């Protein structure tokens, strides 16, 4: 176990190199290109993109026309979802690393999420309108244990890119809060997950939410139970639209 001091030094070095673009954020191989890329070409090629055929509601990669089978069964409560990558293989491994001690990977994923959202939807958004970026919160003890919330890191990266594109955007970490810990959801069905997260999130600053276009940010979309619960709370507090942006989503099950 590394001491807090060495973890901090390592993080600063990582952040510096990531910002300079000297090394690949995934394999640490050298990258000498301008404009710089955060991942080398080989690492980037291993990531599976959602591509052209995505669900118009939740954004996951799908096979047939219309909305995906998950949305047919349980229509998510957010307005629309967006994800640049499929949650599988190398993307899944990198996202797990981002959650477990390598938050610098959020720079890359955040940029990709912003580009994906820009390409699929941003032209419909008025540049004078402020976009509120709301990360899906962790329960406070979990956040302390992990040392950071990966959704916050993603939101910060997305915000920088949206501002560079000329949009007014702000990260708001206090607006949505998690008031109790929830059980691990991996083995749960959608109904069990909905039960598990019901009432776990609440809008702390209701005034901030009213009439706003919100980009709810998380790392992955699986069944959509957590994001639906968060979106329902945000709409309940008067949000105008709630878009859900994730780094990767599970593809449609056949
Ligand atoms: Zn690489
Ligand atoms: Zn869908």
List, for residues 211-238, the tens digit of each pLDDT value: 999 999 999 999 999 999 999 999 999 9
Give yes or no for a contact between 127 and 169, defined as CB atoms under 8 angstroms apart. Answer: no
Across all residues in the chain, what is the average pLDDT?
91
Look at the chain and report how many structural domains it folds into: 2
128 shares its domain with 152 = yes
Supply the pLDDT for residue 12. 72
Same domain, 42 and 166: no
Same domain, 156 and 227: yes
Neighbours of 207 (CB within 10 A): 9
Res 19: pLDDT = 57
Please determine, for residue 240, whether its predicted confidence score (pLDDT) is greater than 70: yes
The closest ligand to the CA of 53 turns out to be 2
Same domain, 199 and 75: yes
Q: Give percent of the chain with pLDDT exceeding 70.
A: 94
Kindly give the distance from the C-alpha atom of residue 231 to the centroid of ligand 1, in angstroms, as a whole number: 35
State in Å: Cα 61 to ligand 2 middle.
8
Residue 229 within a domain: yes
pLDDT at 139 over 70: yes
Domain contains 254: no
pLDDT at 174 over 90: yes
Ligand 2 mean position to 53 CA, how many Å? 11
Closest CA to 149 of 114, 107, 190, 106: 106
Residue 2, domain extent: 1-46
- Residue ending a domain, choose from 46, 62, 79: 46
Position 201 scores a pLDDT of: 95
78 and 199 fall within a common domain: yes
Same-domain pairing of 14 and 96: no
> Same domain, yes or no, for 70 and 188?
yes
CA of 105 to the centre of ligand 2 (A): 26
Residues 92 and 191 in one domain: yes
CA angle 243, 239, 134 (to 5 degrees): 55
Give pLDDT, residue 29. 85
- The ligand whose atoms approach the alpha carbon of 30 most closely is 1
Same domain for 25 and 137, yes or no, is: no
Cα-flanking dihedrals φ and ψ of residue 212, to 5°? -90, 150
The residue among 11, 29, 31 whose CA lies nearest residue 20 is 31
Return the higher-pLDDT residue of 45 and 124: 45
Q: What is the pLDDT of residues 177-199, one digit of tens each?
A: 999 999 988 888 888 998 899 99
| pTM beyond 0.85, yes or no | yes
């Amino acid at each position: 176990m590394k001491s807090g001091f060495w973890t901090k030094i390592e993080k600063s070095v990582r952040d510096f190199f990531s910002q300079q673009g000297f090394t690949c954020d995934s394999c640490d191989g050298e990258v000498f290109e301008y404009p710089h890329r955060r991942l080398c070409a080989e690492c980037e090629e291993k990531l599976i993109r959602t591509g052209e055929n995505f669900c118009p509601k939740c954004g996951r990669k799908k096979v047939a026309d219309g909305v995906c089978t998950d949305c047919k069964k349980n229509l998510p409560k957010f307005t629309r979802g967006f994800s640049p990558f499929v949650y599988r293989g190398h993307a899944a491994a990198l996202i797990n690393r981002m959650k477990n001690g390598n938050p610098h990977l959020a720079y890359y994923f955040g940029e990709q999420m912003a580009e994906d959202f820009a390409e699929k939807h941003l032209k419909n958004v008025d540049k004078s309108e402020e976009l509120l970026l709301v990360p899906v919160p962790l329960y406070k003890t979990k956040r302390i244990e992990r040392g950071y919330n990966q959704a916050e890191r993603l939101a910060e990266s997305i915000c920088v890119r949206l501002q560079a594109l000329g949009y007014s955007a702000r990260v708001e970490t206090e607006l949505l809060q998690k008031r109790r810990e929830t059980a691990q959801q991996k083995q749960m069905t959608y109904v069990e997950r909905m039960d598990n997260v019901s009432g776990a999130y609440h809008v702390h600053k209701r005034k901030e939410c009213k009439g706003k276009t919100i980009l709810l940010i998380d790392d992955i979309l699986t069944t959509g139970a957590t994001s639906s619960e968060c979106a329902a709370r945000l709409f309940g507090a008067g949000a105008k639209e709630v878009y859900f942006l994730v780094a990767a989503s599970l593809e449609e099950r056949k």
